[in-house]
Structure 1
Amino acid sequence: MGQKGGRDAREKCDFLLREKQAINVVLRRQTEAEDHKYKVPLRVSIIVVRLLLKTDLPFRGNDESVNSENRGLYIEVLKSIRETSEDIFNNTLENAPKNNQLICPKIQKELVQCFAQEVLLSIRQEIGQDVFALLVDESSDVSKKEQMAIVLRYVDSLGFVKERFIGVVHVKDTSSLTLKNTLNEVLTSNKLSFSQIRGQL
């Protein structure tokens, strides 16, 4: 193979490398665009969930169909926010891919659960290794299932007494052993311990 053959081979190699690079660049651009299309509705949904949780407002409406006048606060607030930006408008509700609208009740519940986990984490961090009192009440829900509400009372680093609701847990019965085991599971899952309890109400 002469000089000309070597030059041709190098040119072909350079061409292939440039082509691969071009494919990588195109794929990266495509991925960034897809990420953007996903992140916009997620970001807006998080804003709506934060607002509704902060103001203790309900999410769902009686009729969430497309033709309904009032589809529930979650969707109505989302519709209002999307009017503020063309980018948000183009990537939310009916303009988002059908599997990425983030409006189904399951998605709404998952977003609320994410917020709940963050709140529980901040409570755990605030308590740290300090002590707390436990407030527990049990009752039946509308389906006659036994449930237990759990509240922690503690003093924060500034000396203020705080009471924080950490959850409602269904229990199979209200025997002391069942309640103790359920409390232990809740405390353990929140990285708290019975040894930190200094009072029970």
Structure 2
Amino acid sequence: MKPSGHIDKLMHRIDGEEVLKHRLRLKTTIMVVKQLVLQGNSFRGHDESDDSLNPGNVLAWIGFAVKLNDQINSVVLRNAPGNAKYTSPNIQKEILGIIANRVRCKICEEIGDSCFSILVDEAVDEAGREQMSIILRYVSSSGIVTERFFTLKSVADTSAETLKQAICDVISQYDLQIEKLRGQ
């Protein structure tokens, strides 16, 4: 009888406290992933169950944060709803992908309108898939020759046409000016 009591209104109403809990949960995971990336550490363990002695670095570092901060303790791991823990491998990969994309954008900003060159290498991974790594070389604004790993791209084969297409895709995706590309 009351429009404000309809199920669609109730489903979309989340109070501010719940939003803050979700943000703290996600922020904790983001900070842990960011730190592990900076240190070059692995994320996952072999056994990530609740009673595991070695659950992997993400869960171990979140557990460490729990010991330091009661506010984090109240919203993460066992105190989080099962569908919003923000610790799954997919969430970790998504956070890592966002961080990687921000780094690539920062590299593109550093290059700006300057000339650059690319270094390309290919290798076969453990699963037998061909992968191509792209490294950008440019002179920084302070006059220093800089090389930055840019991306790793899966390719069907290592023919010149396939590699050329993958390189063109990366260059266009990040709005790098092909006219500024120089050979070595």
Q: If the length of structure 2 is used for normalisation, what is the TM-score?
A: 0.90
Q: Size of the alignment, in residue pairs?
A: 173
Deviation of 1:81 after TM superposition, in Å, equals: 0.7
Q: Distance in 2 between matches of 1:147 and 1:108?
A: 22
Per-residue CA shift, 1:18-51, capped at 9, x if unaligned?
A: xx9xxxxxxxx95211111100111111110111
Q: Distance in 1 between matches of 2:126 and 2:67?
A: 40
Identity of aligned residues (%): 38
Residue 64 of structure 2 corresponds to 80
Residue 65 of structure 1 corresponds to 49
Q: Distance in 2 between matches of 1:141 and 1:84?
A: 40
Q: Distance in 1 between matches of 2:125 and 2:30?
A: 29
Residue 149 of structure 2 corresponds to 165
Per-residue CA shift, 1:55-104, capped at 9, x if unaligned?
A: 00000111111111010001100100111111110011110111111111
Q: Distance in 2 between matches of 1:145 and 1:85?
A: 44
Structure 2, unmatched stretches of 5+, are 5-12
Runs of 4+ in 1 over 4 A off after TM superposition: none
Is residue 47 of structure 1 aligned with residue 31 of structure 2?
yes
Larger Rg belongs to? 1
Q: Secondary structure at the match of 1:138?
A: strand
Q: Distance in 1 between matches of 2:25 and 2:183?
A: 45
Is residue 190 of structure 1 aligned with residue 165 of structure 2?
no
Q: Secondary structure at the match of 1:142?
A: coil
Residue 22 of structure 2 corresponds to 38
Paired residue type of 1:188 = S
Structure 1, unmatched stretches of 5+, are 1-19, 21-28
CA 1:179–1:30: 2 relative to 1, 3 Å: closer
Residue 6 of structure 1 corresponds to none
Deviation of 1:193 after TM superposition, in Å, equals: 2.9
Q: If the length of structure 1 is used for normalisation, what is the TM-score?
A: 0.82
Residue 94 of structure 2 corresponds to 110
Paired residue type of 1:52 = L
Q: Distance in 1 between matches of 2:144 and 2:31?
A: 29
Q: Secondary structure at the match of 1:110?
A: helix
CA RMSD of aligned residues (A): 1.5
Is residue 91 of structure 1 aligned with residue 75 of structure 2?
yes
